[in-house]
Amino acid sequence: MEMTAAKLAELVKGDVVGDASVRIHTYAKIEEAGQGALTFLANPKYEHFVYNTNASAVLVRRDFMPEKDVKATLIKVDDPYATLADLLNLVSSSLVPEKKGVENPVFVADGVELPDDVYVGSFSYIGSGAVIGKNVKIYPQCYVGDNVVIKDNTTLYAGVKVYYGCEIGCNCVIHSGAVIGADGFGFAPKNGEYEKISQIGRVVVEDCVEIGANTTIDRATMGATVVRRGVKLDNLIQVAHNVEIGENTVIAAQTGIAGSTKIGRHNMIGGQVGFAGHITIGDGNKFGAQAGVHSNPGNDKTVIGYPAIDARQFMRQSAYLKRLGDLFDSVKELKKEVDELKNIKQNSL
Amino acid sequence: MEMTAAKLAELVKGDVVGDASVRIHTYAKIEEAGQGALTFLANPKYEHFVYNTNASAVLVRRDFMPEKDVKATLIKVDDPYATLADLLNLVSSSLVPEKKGVENPVFVADGVELPDDVYVGSFSYIGSGAVIGKNVKIYPQCYVGDNVVIKDNTTLYAGVKVYYGCEIGCNCVIHSGAVIGADGFGFAPKNGEYEKISQIGRVVVEDCVEIGANTTIDRATMGATVVRRGVKLDNLIQVAHNVEIGENTVIAAQTGIAGSTKIGRHNMIGGQVGFAGHITIGDGNKFGAQAGVHSNPGNDKTVIGYPAIDARQFMRQSAYLKRLGDLFDSVKELKKEVDELKNIKQNSL
Amino acid sequence: MEMTAAKLAELVKGDVVGDASVRIHTYAKIEEAGQGALTFLANPKYEHFVYNTNASAVLVRRDFMPEKDVKATLIKVDDPYATLADLLNLVSSSLVPEKKGVENPVFVADGVELPDDVYVGSFSYIGSGAVIGKNVKIYPQCYVGDNVVIKDNTTLYAGVKVYYGCEIGCNCVIHSGAVIGADGFGFAPKNGEYEKISQIGRVVVEDCVEIGANTTIDRATMGATVVRRGVKLDNLIQVAHNVEIGENTVIAAQTGIAGSTKIGRHNMIGGQVGFAGHITIGDGNKFGAQAGVHSNPGNDKTVIGYPAIDARQFMRQSAYLKRLGDLFDSVKELKKEVDELKNIKQNSL
């Protein structure tokens, strides 16, 4: 796949500034790109790279005006990142060979029907009563428990485990090592030991959800742990029993959500955040990395810290903390001065 | 399985308040329950649900006195949660089909004996010299290394990995993706690089332990990493080499325990807590989520924060922190006033 | 394998103090060692154990002078830990049976060549175009995707997953459940939902790298996520897309590194640390456990806290925080005194 900048610009409805005849055959990050590579500039923080890049062409915003000479050909588009995304999808489908068919050996329980266009990789296990949708891809070494439902166009990468009775929607992507439907962490104290509370609920993952590598989503005690449409979960995230995550909420790696907590829609949650159990979180909030969230900030708020507070308040607190030594000194100084004043007073009486 | 509230009350030795003839056939959370469902009220925080629930029956404490009309039939018992737990166990065993036998293909090394009532799922691997107890269930795609011992009635869900020489007690439950016995993280600096220290110890998990999905427990450098009887570990927990966790200690998800640390008995440890290495922790303590623990709080203490301190002290500190801006203002104001006083003094001299 | 202290001392070029004829046949931790065991004392913190140990022999530093009677035979060496490491390696190779050959069933794509001395455990999958080096050990249930390269002497323990196109160097050790090359977490907002950005880059792991159990290293959006020579990663670590980790940097469990961040060489990073995305970190720094790192501390610095600051500054801050209540009291007291002074002033006018 090689084309000129002119041809590419035509494809993405962009305008060429510079040599329209340069030939492009690969993609690379702006700071690493070499000849023949296309790259992009979206974040102004990286603008300086545009002047030194060895890329042959750079996707830039329509309003981008270089301050210095640019060697590379510029292709001006409305949204360089979105344009790149579209191109990457195109390239990706050419890079990754389309998997189809059943690679033996696999275990498929009696009575399970596999659509013609399905992929089931070697050493995968599909339990009794499982329902597998059209164009589903189950890479090697996956475990699909009894009565699991996996809907159309969903991909399970190698080694995903889905416990019995859980349901995965359409167009989902689940990465290696993710565990869906393990028992919630429920125990009742009894005679100084703990007795297991059977977890008879399940996990429901709606459509268009992505679940990262080694992320764990526990089944509900009763009812369902629910991950709503469009949610994106990064790697190594913990979603406890009976949690509900609202539509299009995005969560970065290593965050944990304790039992029965409900997260609203369109939240953006940083990495290593912790949510206490049994709380309800509004919509459209941003949670800074490593925040410890014990209550609902409301809607459209930005919080950070432990316990999580308004981000501006946190910044002020951090600034105050830095000056805390000075404050102790000031108070000590004041004390001395007040003592002196009192002394003089005393003496003048 | 359907029965009347009267019949159920008889079964759990409870007293019926309301219509004893309502028929129950399912279980649900109080806020989600519909007709025909049993639910329970244990946490007073949820009392308001009891007045609106669509459940047909609710397990409540014997001393529960409704403040308003309740539509549902109440079944009064000593401990609603424990009663529910018993019922859930009953239901669970009817929901989850009992697994027995060996599903081919599996790899079982020569000389390994499998008891008649064992379950070994497809694509599981049992190494040379492994000892498998009665009624053990090894779900698909598990790895049981050479000379591993797994005692009676223990379940390994799909994809559990147990390295050579480790020992798992009776009545344990280990969830998918847990890794028992990987090398401890030990390296010695040598000429500006790091040289691996062979980890020749093992992991010993005693009886009645539950280990969550994708939790990792490293083998000891020498001797054993030990998880004592009745310990419950949630998902994605890290237990480093030579750690020891005392009986009936319960640890929530994503907590990490660094090398050689000893945790006592009956501790309750929140999520995302970190324990420094080479420390010894007493018994009966509570550790708040995200705490950073660098020393032993003693016994029966509640600590939180980083570094972890007494919880009440932490609350006070948090309250002070919120008022830190005011304090800076007060001191500034005081300074002005003192300066004024000094000025007057000066002038009056 | 049993030998006298005299013989062992000869082997490790050490000097015997005490009974050179005691016989040693095992290894144990100093506090757990029994008769016949060798142990070592490296950390002075554990010196007290040397006076009570039941070990038959203890490796100690050449300059170690016991303050009390020692029952065990001492073997004085330059570096007890390094000496032990060498001995452990010796023992380890005798403990762990050398794995060779192919254990059927495995899936090996047409055209993939397996060197004679390779080990491929049952239920492992080696995709089309994969290149497997000499003496590589692939334990059971591993997934080696299409076009993956695994160089000489590298070991993949049971259940490691390596996505298509990734490259693992020589002499690496990758523990169970590690996932190399899952998609980076990249999405572009589009009409209130998120659209996946295809991640067409890969992961390059250089030589002599160790990767812990259930650690995840995402493939780059474009280009490569790079883990340089000699890096040691503990368990449950998250390495996001386009991250680069410099030579001989060591990272403890559960740490996360956000997208595009570059970590320099010879850093020592504690557990549960979080690195923000798109930052560049120098060389030789130490990061305390649970630190939140938002900017480059420089080189050879020690930082801690959230946001991470100089460790000494953090200690001072912590000390001030403990006295914050006193400060509030002092200011209140001062206010009263100043008010009094002002009153007197007023009255005396």
The total of other beta-carbon atoms located within 10 Å of residue B173's CB is: 20
- Using an 8 Å CB-CB cutoff, list chain B residues near A221: 29, 88
* Catalytically annotated residue among A241, A266, A278, A294: A241
C200/A335 CB distance under 8 A: no
Q: Helix A311-322 and helix B311-322: axis angle, to 10°?
A: 100
Chain B to chain C Cβ contacts (< 8 Å): 192
Q: Is the pLDDT of residue A26 over 60?
A: yes
Domain span at residue A338 reads 318-348
In this prediction, residues C121-139 reach a mean pLDDT of: 98
- C146 inside domain: yes
Nearest residue in chain B measured CA to CA from A195: B85
Q: Indicate the range of A118-122, A166-170, B38-42, C151-155 predicted with least confidence.
A: B38-42
Handedness of CA B162, B163, B164, B170 (dihedral sign): negative
Quick one: C131 and C195 in the same domain? yes
Number of domains in chain B: 3
Strands C15-17 and C73-77: antiparallel
Q: Does A45 touch chain C (CB under 8 A)?
A: yes
Quick one: B254 and B137 in the same domain? yes
Q: B89: distance to nearest CA of chain A, Å?
A: 5
Q: Average per-residue pLDDT in chain C?
A: 93
Predicted local distance difference test score (pLDDT) of residue C45: 85
C327/A328 CB distance under 8 A: yes
- C113 inside domain: yes
Q: Is the pLDDT of residue A90 over 80?
A: no
Find tokens 């990395």 and name the residue.
A289
Q: Is the pLDDT of residue C91 over 90?
A: no
pLDDT tens-digit profile of C188-209? 888 889 999 899 899 999 999 9
Strands C286-287 and C302-304: parallel
- Using an 8 Å CB-CB cutoff, list chain B residues near A223: 28-29, 32
pLDDT tens-digit profile of B89-103? 877 877 777 899 999
DSSP B298: -
- The alpha-helical segments, DSSP class H, found in chain C are 5-11, 47-50, 80-95, 311-322, 324-348
A residues 221-240 lying closer than 8 A (beta carbon) to B: 221-223, 236, 238, 240
Tokens of C87: 């001995």
Extended beta strands in B169-229, E state: 173-174, 179-182, 187-190, 193-196, 202-205, 210-211, 216-218, 224-227
Predicted local distance difference test score (pLDDT) of residue C349: 56
Quick one: A265 and A290 in the same domain? yes
More confident position, B165 or A43: B165
Q: C66: distance to nearest CA of chain B, Å?
A: 23
Note the pTM of the prediction, 2 decimals: 0.91
Find tokens 């498929």 and name the residue.
A108
Quick one: B90 and B173 in the same domain? no
Q: Does A343 touch chain C (CB under 8 A)?
A: no
C344/A345 CB distance under 8 A: yes
Q: Which of A95, A122, A147 is the last residue of a domain?
A: A95
Preceding peptide of A105 cis, ω within 30°: yes
Helices vs. strands in chain A: H and E counts, helices first: 5, 39
A29/C192 CB distance under 8 A: no
Q: Is the pLDDT of residue C1 over 80?
A: no
More confident position, A204 or A68: A204
C95/B193 CB distance under 8 A: no
pLDDT tens-digit profile of C251-270? 999 999 999 999 999 999 99
Chains that touch A (3 or more CB pairs under 8 A): B, C
Predicted local distance difference test score (pLDDT) of residue B93: 76
Preceding peptide of C307 cis, ω within 30°: yes
- C317 inside domain: no
Chains that touch C (3 or more CB pairs under 8 A): A, B
Task: Give residue B48's Cα distance to chain centre.
Answer: 28
Predicted local distance difference test score (pLDDT) of residue B1: 58
Predicted local distance difference test score (pLDDT) of residue A348: 67
B188/C29 CB distance under 8 A: no
The CATH number of whichever domain residue A215 belongs to comes to 2.160.10.10
Distance CA C24, CA C47 (A): 21
Quick one: A137 and A204 in the same domain? yes
- Give the pLDDT band (50/70/90) at residue A1: low
Predicted local distance difference test score (pLDDT) of residue B137: 98
Closest residue to A317, CB basis, from B27, B210, B324: B324
- C254 inside domain: yes
Mutation site, B110, B120, B164, B179, interface C, largest C CB count within 10 A? B179
| CB neighbour burial string for C93-122, b if at least 16 within 10 angstroms, e if fewer | eeeeeebeeebeebbbeeebebeeebbbbb
* Catalytically annotated residue among B48, B175, B241, B278: B241
Quick one: A56 and A114 in the same domain? no
Tokens of C345: 């002033």
Q: Which of C35, C64, C95 is the last residue of a domain?
A: C95
Quick one: A61 and A172 in the same domain? no
For residue C196, the cross-strand partners are C187
Q: Does C349 touch chain B (CB under 8 A)?
A: no
Q: Does C88 touch chain B (CB under 8 A)?
A: yes
Active site residues of C: 241
Q: Which of A78, A95, A112 is the last residue of a domain?
A: A95
Q: Does B271 touch chain C (CB under 8 A)?
A: no
Q: Is the pLDDT of residue A207 over 70?
A: yes
The residue type at C226: V
Phi, psi (deg, nearest 5) at residue A328: -55, -45
Closest residue to C179, CB basis, from A92, A175, A334: A175
Mutation site, B108, B123, B185, B269, interface C, largest C CB count within 10 A? B185
Q: Does B94 touch chain A (CB under 8 A)?
A: no
Quick one: C147 and C66 in the same domain? no
The residue type at C287: F
B208/A198 CB distance under 8 A: no
> Which one, of A163, A162, A158, lies nearest residue A175 by Cα?
A158
% residues pLDDT > 70 (chain C): 99
Closest residue to A214, CB basis, from C216, C320, C341: C216
Quick one: C111 and C228 in the same domain? yes
Quick one: C209 and C289 in the same domain? yes
Residue stretches of chain B with pLDDT short of 50: none
Mutation site, C104, C180, C185, C315, interface A, largest A CB count within 10 A? C185
Closest residue to C105, CB basis, from A28, A105, A334: A105
Nearest residue in chain C measured CA to CA from B306: C305
- Give the pLDDT band (50/70/90) at residue A267: very high
Q: Helix A324-348 and helix C311-322: axis angle, to 10°?
A: 40
Enumerate residues 6+ apart whose C-beta is below 8 A from C59.
C12, C14, C38, C39, C40, C41, C75, C77, C80, C83, C84
Quick one: A159 and A75 in the same domain? no
Quick one: B88 and B213 in the same domain? no
Closest residue to B258, CB basis, from C45, C139, C271: C271
A residues 148-207 lying closer than 8 A (beta carbon) to C: 157-159, 173, 175-177
Predicted local distance difference test score (pLDDT) of residue C3: 86
Mutation site, A141, A146, A148, A185, interface B, largest B CB count within 10 A? A185
Task: Give residue A196's Cα distance to chain centre.
Answer: 32
Predicted local distance difference test score (pLDDT) of residue B348: 67
Q: Is the pLDDT of residue C145 over 90?
A: yes
B residues 305-334 lying closer than 8 A (beta carbon) to A: 305-306, 318, 321-322, 324-325, 327-328, 331, 334
